[in-house]
Amino acid sequence: MTVTLADVAARARVSPATVSRVLNGNYPVAASTRERVLRAVDELDYVLNGPASSLAAATSDLVGILVNDIADPFFGIMAGAAQTEIGGQEGTGRAGGEKLAVVCNTGGSPERELTYLTLLQRQRAAAVILTGGALEDPDHIAAMTAKLSRLADAGTTVVLCGRPPLPGSDAVVASLAFDNRGGGRRLTEHLLTLGHRRIGYVAGPVERTTTRHRLEGHRAAMAAAGLGGDTAEQERLTVHGPYDRRSGYDATLELLRRDPELTAIVAANDTVALGACAALRDQGLRIPHDISVAGFDDLPFSVDAVPALTTVRLPLFEAGARAGRLAMGNEAPPPGGIASIAAELMARDSTAPPRA
């Protein structure tokens, strides 16, 4: 029924071993023989049996890219960049030694994250890239550390992208961590420099590294300006929620309720900031005249917002591409396996000095 390697061998009048060698290209084969084999492959429309090949070789050409939310361009950009770097840009049609880069959407659920890792482990994946912030629950961290060790033992290359290093684990080849803390600090410093003193903060989901680091940066800047306040005050000006538009909308209304004198709102990311803007507009407030708004990530749409959104740029594409190369072993890991990726303040029109 389906054509096998043996069929190709018969047609090319060589042994199966030889066919295997030309297909994998990692062994010397006479040019004439190779050509004969390749011709037979095309004539028979032969497609390698991946499972059989993976079983025999004890490794597959699958590379998994885990993301928290595939509908969020934050992840889409990183994943796309990584996939480009991995999938090869050739396109010979015949599909030679390409890797199969695939993205898996965890939806932010820790269980699904682990399930996907198990599934990838089951497939004997060549590499796994974990993107985005990590959950800070101790149990989950322990489970992840164990799972990643298991993967690494089985020969899977593990790379972290936009996620802080896993303490005490040598399973990870490289961690590319965004400087969320520094970015958060600079963003709030920008607001302070403009003259803002009462700043509301729409944070991301609790127990996420990204959420915590950005918030820490914000509070560090506030504290440095002598505006830290006590814990109760800090919490009063902070509302947590998911990384979506709705959350930004609701949280902003809540912050306004808690303190109508707010002159600025800092959002966990650009999407949340958009929701915040909508809420403010619905309250009849003008941005930045009545109140300033800032986001984080600098997604493509942020520059088109009205007014253009002040935010912190993260080099998502570059980071994803680098993660892809690291996963493929095409780039040397950074010293210590850890790299911090700079976050750059993009001051635009949604922030301005507060009204007198």
Residue 190, CB-side half-sphere exposure with 13 Å CA sphere = 26
Residues 28-67 as x/- pattern, contact with DNA by CB under 7 A: xxx-xxx-------------xx--xx-xxxx---------
Residue 174 beta carbon to DNA: minimum distance, rounded to whole angstroms? 25
Q: Phi first, then psi: what are they for 237, rounded to 5°?
A: -95, 15
> Out of DNA, a second copy, none, which partner does residue 175 contact, by CB within 5 to 8 A per kind?
none
Give the range of 84-92, 167-175, 183-191, 253-261 binding a second copy by CB under 8 A. 84-92
Residue 245 beta carbon to DNA: minimum distance, rounded to whole angstroms? 43
Residue 95 beta carbon to DNA: minimum distance, rounded to whole angstroms? 13
Beta pairing, strands 264-267 & 292-294: parallel
> Out of DNA, a second copy, none, which partner does residue 304 contact, by CB within 5 to 8 A per kind?
a second copy
Residue 25 beta carbon to a second copy: minimum distance, rounded to whole angstroms? 15
Could you tell me how many residues of this chain bind DNA (CB under 7 A)?
30
> Out of a second copy, DNA, none, which partner does residue 18 contact, by CB within 5 to 8 A per kind?
DNA
Given candidates 11, 14, 79, 312, which one binds DNA under the rule CB under 7 A? 14
Residue 124 or 208: the one with the smaller Cβ distance to a second copy is 124
Q: Does 89 bind DNA (CB under 7 A)?
A: no
How far, rounded to the nearest angstrom, does the alpha carbon of residue 253 sit from its chain's CA centroid? 30
**Dist CA 275 CA 242 (whole Å):** 12
182: which 2 tokens?
């520094």
Residue 48 or 215: the one with the smaller Cβ distance to a second copy is 48
Q: Does 227 bind DNA (CB under 7 A)?
A: no
Q: What is the CB neighbour count within 10 angstroms for residue 122?
A: 8
DSSP codes of every residue in 273-342 = HHHHHHHHHHTT--TTTT-EEE-SB--GGGGGSSSPPBEEE--HHHHHHHHHHHHHT-SPPPGGGEEEE-
**Dist CA 274 CA 174 (whole Å):** 33
Facing residues of 264 across strands? 199, 292
Given candidates 10, 44, 102, 253, which one binds a second copy under the rule CB under 8 A? 102
**Dist CA 135 CA 118 (whole Å):** 18
Q: Does 156 bind DNA (CB under 7 A)?
A: no
Residue ranges binding DNA (CB under 7 A) = 2, 4-6, 13-21, 23-24, 27-30, 32-34, 48-49, 52-53, 55-58
